[in-house]
Amino acid sequence: MTDRTAAEQSGRSVLRVRHLSAHIGSQQVVEDVSLEVPERGVTALLGRNGVGKTSTIKAVLGLIGRAGEVELDGERIETLPTHRIVRRGVGYVPEDREVFGSLTVEQNLRLAERDAHPRRDLVADLFPDIMARSGQAAGTLSGGQQQMVALARALLNDNRLLLVDEPTKGLSPKLVEEVADALERAAQVVPILLVEQNLAVARRLATDAVVMAGGRVVHTGDARALLDDEERVVNLLGVGAEPAPSHGRPPSTHQSHQEVPS
């Protein structure tokens, strides 16, 4: 590894992962992963299906067996149980959303409240449609609306970091845009590590990108520089580049990219 990221150089990372490995049962699913999440903006965690993105997030949270170092705001957390990591300010929006379908939207939100003064105003501001349905059973909402509830639950608490796993998966193009809008606004409040297969969404939201292959990190750097490079997108992500969206995006905290040999 030659280049160091701007976050590494300045020390302004909310999350630092070093030499993380993880296993599910006897299968090693993450091998020697090192990455950083700057304290602002969206960092996209990218890679083909099955390369270990979800497992990396779960390992950070202690949901699967792991070894290596995980630092949140400069403090080591890799030996803490999940509930203590969450209490330190790591919000998790899992891939399958996990809203309680038989409970109302309001009940889902109340169950998630951890702080004495939950950020109700922020959630009402970000998700007016959801709040207008506060008495409705969450299971009767559309997939996009359920995703909003899942995001709202994580945003209620004063988290230091959100781990958001494939929030647009399975949604219609209109709902993808709505969820991306919500994430864009959420990222103004809290840094996000985002697993996202929709590269147009990743390109729109992310300042930084980390690419995994075979359980390892194979690239880190500026998200837009990566996603606008068709050859690299094909090589690293195995898909064709999509047209650039019209939305603006904040500048990357990275000044250069690095390829990590696999």
Nearer to ligand ATP, 50 or 173 (CB): 50
Q: At what angle do helices 143-156 and 173-186 cross, to 10 degrees?
A: 10
Residue 171 Cβ vs ligand ATP, minimum distance, rounded to whole Å? 15
User: Listing from the earlier edge strand, what are the strands of the sheet with 65-72?
Assistant: 27-38, 13-24, 65-72, 75-76
The residue among 64, 59, 57, 58 whose CA lies nearest residue 43 is 57
Q: Cβ distance 108 to 127 under 8 Å?
A: no
Nearer to ligand ATP, 96 or 125 (CB): 96
Residue 49 Cβ vs ligand ATP, minimum distance, rounded to whole Å? 4
Residue 165 Cβ vs ligand ATP, minimum distance, rounded to whole Å? 7
Compute the distance between CA of residue 153 and CA of residue 105 in angstroms, rounded to an integer.
10
Residue 213 Cβ vs ligand ATP, minimum distance, rounded to whole Å? 9
Nearer to ligand ATP, 39 or 196 (CB): 196
Compute the distance between CA of residue 103 and CA of residue 70 in angstroms, rounded to an integer.
34
Residue 74 Cβ vs ligand ATP, minimum distance, rounded to whole Å? 27
Residue 180 Cβ vs ligand ATP, minimum distance, rounded to whole Å? 18
DSSP label of 50: T
Residues 6+ apart with CB under 8 A from 231: none
Q: Cβ distance 60 to 90 under 8 Å?
A: yes
CA 51 to the chain's CA centroid: 16
Nearer to ligand ATP, 94 or 245 (CB): 94
Residue 194 Cβ vs ligand ATP, minimum distance, rounded to whole Å? 12
Nearer to ligand ATP, 55 or 198 (CB): 55
Q: At what angle do helices 105-112 and 143-156 cross, to 10 degrees?
A: 30
Nearer to ligand ATP, 49 or 79 (CB): 49
Nearer to ligand ATP, 33 or 123 (CB): 33
**E-strand stretches of the chain:** 13-24, 27-38, 42-46, 65-72, 75-76, 90-93, 161-165, 192-195, 206-213, 216-222, 258-259
Q: Site residues (CB under 6 A) for ligand ATP?
A: 24-25, 27, 29, 47, 49-55
